[in-house]
Amino acid sequence: MQRFSKKVSMTVVKRLPKYYQYLSDLLENDIEKISSRELASLMGLTASQIRQDLNSFGGYGQQGYGYNVGELREAIKEILGLDSEYNCMIIGAGNMGHAIANYERFKREGVILKGVFDVDPLRVGTVVGSVVVKHMDEIEKFIKNNEIDICILCVPREVGQKVATLITDLGVKGILNFSPLDLDVPGDVVVENVNITDSLFTLTYLLGE
């Protein structure tokens, strides 16, 4: 289900969530219209860049006026696929799994936590976020019954690939990967990595510049 005809570069895609955030904030503050120049100064981009970005999708602006904040926010929300709901699960009920399970923002944007899994008998049966932790043995049945779209991987590096293979074999098409390794997945599966170690090392690099 491709939403737009022109293909959009990854560089632009990575900026879309930021646009969504800033526009949501503006709306929160009852700001109705904004020009590319104003938004640029707010976000630390250039006005040109913003107009180019927004035009990869369509003409959301109006000459002589600027952009209507509410309309543009709705458009980007839809572009990001946030007009649909997503069933999600977390694998790994350690500290990171806990942290994500309690992120209110996910639910607010339509990403519904359906289950949390772990192999540790001490964790199975405990409550994390809004759900009871299940054992990995139950995962096959669970994924089928709950039509899981997104799996959030919070397992140790050593088992990351094994678990990724398991869930993609069971039909999961989206992975938000907190395990610090690059996953090898089938071509129709999308992975977004959150690699905290990489971020830390980028920071230590920048500290020495």
CA distance 154 to 137: 17
Stretch that binds a copy of itself, among 55-63, 74-82, 113-121, 139-147 (CB under 8 A): 74-82
Q: By the criterion CB under 7 A, which residues form the site for DNA?
A: 9-12, 35-37, 45-49, 51-52, 54-55, 59-67
To the question of whether residue 68 is assigned a binding role by annotation, the answer is no
Give the pair of three-digit tokens for residue 15: 């900026």
Q: Strand 33-34: give its sheet, edge to edge.
A: 33-34, 66-68, 61-62
CA distance 34 to 46: 14
Q: Which of 150, 153, 167, 185 binds a copy of itself (CB under 8 A)?
A: 150
Alpha-carbon dihedral sign for residues 112, 4, 40, 34 = negative
Q: How far is CA 202 from CA 29, 62, 208, in A?
A: 34, 40, 10
To the question of whether residue 89 is assigned a binding role by annotation, the answer is no
180 binds, among a copy of itself, DNA, none (CB under 5 to 8 A by kind): a copy of itself
155 binds, among a copy of itself, DNA, none (CB under 5 to 8 A by kind): none
**Which is closer to DNA, CB of 54 or CB of 172?**
54
Query: Taking the complex as a whole, how short is the minimal distance between the CB of residue 138 and a copy of itself, in angstroms?
Result: 24
48 binds, among DNA, a copy of itself, none (CB under 5 to 8 A by kind): DNA
**Site membership for a copy of itself, residue 44 (CB under 8 A):** yes
To the question of whether residue 58 is assigned a binding role by annotation, the answer is no
DSSP track, 35-99: -HHHHHHHHTS-HHHHHHHHHTT---EETTTEEEHHHHHHHHHHHTTTTS-EEEEEE--SHHHHH
To the question of whether residue 92 is assigned a binding role by annotation, the answer is yes
To the question of whether residue 115 is assigned a binding role by annotation, the answer is no
CA distance 134 to 41: 47
Query: Taking the complex as a whole, how short is the minimal distance between the CB of residue 46 and a copy of itself, in angstroms?
Result: 16
**Annotated binding residues for NAD(+), as ranges?**
92-97
**Annotated binding residues, as ranges?**
92-97
